[in-house]
Chains A and B, each alone.
Chain A
């Protein structure tokens, strides 16, 4: 992801532009506002959902715009009350892995605090990046990482540090051990598949 590609109304470089996600997917343009499922939102969203079921009238939690929940059963943060070790290390019998969360630590250069997120909660890279931007209050340029100050990177199963977005989403979530938002200058040296 090294070249800086800009939209040029005459040349229509869209067809050859480098962007995140699998080729052929237009979801980047058409995406609905991403569902940010960090600690702050999930519980009030799903609580809202559950409250609707039980007909108890309750004042809105008032957390900005209401976002639509994904089609699959909404995961409520911290429910059921099971400790992380049991949640993360327990392999269910079913082969479909929807039931187990993939919690990874996220650090950002310059920020003293680590966060933890559940990769399972995001549908793809755009959502993940948006969530990271919101969590750490910075912006990533989509067309390439050169323009921005920060680049999201991750450590994979082999211990190598890669740029986020290089591999298909499913491969990424199964190999990502932790995330680090690096300063752009450092990230430029990272190997990538392009």
Chain B
């Protein structure tokens, strides 16, 4: 091996290896490959910011251009992780500022980012190009102003669904007149109005702008002017899609869209008014992605629009689409790959929207490429799930949310075990699954037996006993992320499968029956896991060892316990166990 190719040749070959998995495999071949690889790796993805410390990363990889980091557990999206839990990115940026002055890209998800952090980023990285903040929080428009003002070569600014403290819309004016590098701007979830003339000028001078996602505060009558400055757009997010019905506004809009021949992706549509939808018809056949999930339009108008989108690959829509709309999609959108149907009325007893399991069945029959589904509905049956499984063995992501917890098969009143069993049995490439409805331990037996490629599983209000959890932990060989809430899973399965947890990124359990004693034991026995107990009811030590903890978050780490925890989070490890006993 020592007499193999010279370093430069190996480096050149490695430059064609892009995926993290493959790069990791390369680095394990032998010491010299490890050394060469680590010096030429340019992109890093850290799925859990607490799994490794920034110093360890910097020590191993000296020349990184792109960093992706994820912070809080996924259930933070649904308010299950209390504020203050953690996920602070500042310590990372401080280390990166010194080690990687040429860092170009930062992609953060569910992290706490402050204005101080944004200022540090804007000053430290001379060639900074891409900033993507998905579901982040802790910063204001002041921080954005710093980014706009100081990042001379900024190409992408994407605020995702981050919570931004809206202090002023003038941050956008901080982009200097000399800035023409912007290719992608996503401010869709900003609350405040931005300075519109600054936006117009920015759009006008950034001739490479491909993606522009506006926020709700941008009115429809201003959209035409903006679009005329950017006919090269590929991805457009409208602002509010409503205006008083004026023929001139309409015809101007329709004419503008006919000039935007490159648009493949559309989103936005807040407060959408049906009368203005036909303005889009000229670009429908070019659309591959359509997000109407904020548009409360009724099915007849939705159908008229969507049935013209013959090349649609991704569709996000509200349940206003109804079964009849989904039948139409099954007939018209033969290239559909991803469907998400969101609920419009969350707590109403009597929904006035006619969406049932039949809509999903229909799409599963009509769309041969459908492989990714997120479906909120009020009723489901095992029969429907059998049909979907049979129709779509190519399913890779299947997330079903029946709104009422514990809802049984509405036809037979039995649990939905068999239906989900069929899904995991037939869909051999299933990587992500979310369960709902009435489910016993049986469904977990099916999952453990068949779901061998499953990487992420979300469970709520399901199962009867520890056996359920045991089936999953012992059977799902590819499992990386498991999140559970309100299930009667306790100590036995967790302790019996402790070693499994080191092969996974993380496990979240809340409102289950895991005892404090078991958490302590797990923390003691498994030094390479951080076992975090989250309990806002006070220190669990004040209660008996066998009383259940509120929330539990376990993740593997090479960085040891963290020290930035709030007073309602404790790490169970040998040290703390000794201290507490």
User: Interface residues, chain A, CB within 8 Å of chain B?
Assistant: 38-40, 43-44, 47, 50-51, 53-54, 56, 58-59, 61-64, 73, 75-87, 89-90, 92-94, 98-100, 103, 105, 112-116, 135
Q: Say yes or no for B14: interface residue by CB 8 A criterion.
A: no
Additional A-B contacts beyond A63-B550, A77-B80, A90-B344 (5; CB < 8 A): A39-B80, A43-B510, A85-B189, A92-B348, A93-B296
Contacts of B342 in A (CB 8 A): 82, 86
Distance A112 CA – B241 CA, assembled complex (angstroms): 40
| In the assembled complex, B161 has its CB within 8 A of some CB on chain A | yes
Interface of B is mostly: loop
Q: Assess whether B488 is in contact with A56, with CB atoms less than 8 Å apart.
A: yes
With A47-B486, A73-B347 as contacts: A83 and B537 at CB distance below 8 Å:
no
Contact with A along B382-414 (1 / 0, CB 8 A): 000000000000000000010101100000000
Cross-chain contact A84 with B344 (CB below 8 angstroms): no
With contacts A78-B75, A81-B401 taken as known, whether A99 is within 8 angstroms of B346 at the C-beta atoms is yes
Evaluate contact between B78 and A81: CB separation under 8 angstroms. Answer: yes
Pick the contact of B348 from A38, A40, A53, A99 — CB < 8 Å?
Answer: A99
- A38, B405: Cβ atoms closer than 8 Å: no
Q: Is B555 located at the chain interface by the 8 A CB criterion?
A: no
Cα–Cα distance between A38 and B294 once the two chains are bound (Å): 28
Contact of B77 among A43, A63, A83, A116 (CB under 8 A): A83
- State whether the Cβ of B535 lies closer than 8 Å to any Cβ in chain A: yes
CB distance from A70 to the nearest CB of B (A): 13
Q: How far is A59 from B161 in the complex, measured between Cα atoms in Å? A: 38
Q: Compute how far the CA of A84 lies from the CA of B80 in the bound complex, rounded to whole angstroms.
A: 11
Shortest Cβ distance from A78 into chain B, in angstroms? 4
Give every chain A residue within 8 A of B135 (Cβ-Cβ).
Answer: 83
Beta-carbon nearest neighbor of A113 in chain B: B84
B80 touches A58 (CB 8 A): no
When distances are taken between beta carbons in the complex, the residues of chain A under 8 Å from B8 are none
B310 close to chain A: CB less than 8 A = no
Q: Which among A43, A51, A73 has the highest number of chain B CB atoms within 10 Å?
A: A43
Asked if B177 is at the interface (CB within 8 A of a chain A CB), the reply is: no
A85 lies within 8 A of B548 (CB): no
Is the CB–CB distance between B78 and A135 below 8 Å? Answer: no
- Flag whether B83 is at the interface (Cβ < 8 A): yes
Is B547 within 8 A of A62, CB to CB?
Answer: yes
Q: Please name all residues of chain B whose beta carbon is closer than 8 Å to the beta carbon of A73 when the two chains form the complex.
A: 347, 349
Do A39 and B82 touch across chains, with their CB atoms under 8 A apart? Answer: yes
Establish whether residues A50 and B346, one from each chain, have CB atoms under 8 Å apart when the complex forms.
no
* Per-residue A-contact encoding for B469-491, CB less than 8 Å = 1, 0 else: 00000000000000001101010
Chain A contacts for B401, CB-based, 8 A? 80-81
Q: Which chain A residue shows the least CB distance to B82?
A: A39
- Is B116's CB within 8 Å of the partner chain A? no
Chain B residue at smallest Cβ distance from A92? B345
Chain B residues with Cβ below 8 Å from A77 are 78-80
B346 contacts A87, CB within 8 Å? yes
B84: which A residues are within 8 A, CB to CB?
112-115
Q: Are A40 and B83 in contact (CB under 8 A)?
A: no
With a cutoff of 8 Å between Cβ atoms, the chain B residues found around residue A43 in the complex are 80, 485-486, 510-511
A114–B82 CA distance with the chains assembled, in angstroms: 9
Are the CB atoms of B536 and A79 closer together than 8 Å? no
Instruction: Name the A residues within 8 Å of B79 (CB-CB).
Output: 39, 77-78, 84, 103, 116
Option from A47, A103, A115 in Cβ contact (under 8 Å) with B511: A47
A192 to B: closest C-beta gap in Å:
27
Report yes or no: A113 in contact with B566, Cβ–Cβ below 8 A: yes
Please report the C-alpha to C-alpha distance between residue A59 and residue B492 in the assembled complex, in whole angstroms: 14
Question: Is residue B444 within 8 Å, beta carbon to beta carbon, of the partner chain?
Answer: no
Query: Please, how many angstroms separate the alpha-carbon atoms of A129 and B403 in the complex?
Result: 31
Q: List the 3 shortest-distance A-B pairs measured between CB atoms, nearest first.
A: A113-B84, A78-B78, A47-B486
